[in-house]
Amino acid sequence: MAIYSQQSFPSPFPQPPKQPPTTTLSTLPTTFSSS
């Protein structure tokens, strides 16, 4: 169960969140400056 949850989570989780953070970080500073 631990291996199944870890393989199913870390695969689809760390991958999508890794890309969004890059855009969020770039948008965060832009939104703050714009605000």
Which one, of 28, 29, 25, lies nearest residue 17 by Cα?
Answer: 25
Q: Which residue has the tokens 């969020």?
A: 24
C-alpha to C-alpha distance for 27 and 3, rounded to whole angstroms: 35
Per-residue pLDDT of 3-35, as tens digits, reads: 555 555 555 555 555 555 555 555 556 655 554
Give the model's pLDDT for residue 3: 52
Model pTM score: 0.15
Q: Which residue has the tokens 């949850």?
A: 5
C-alpha to C-alpha distance for 33 and 23, rounded to whole angstroms: 16
Give the model's pLDDT for residue 20: 55
Give the model's pLDDT for residue 16: 55
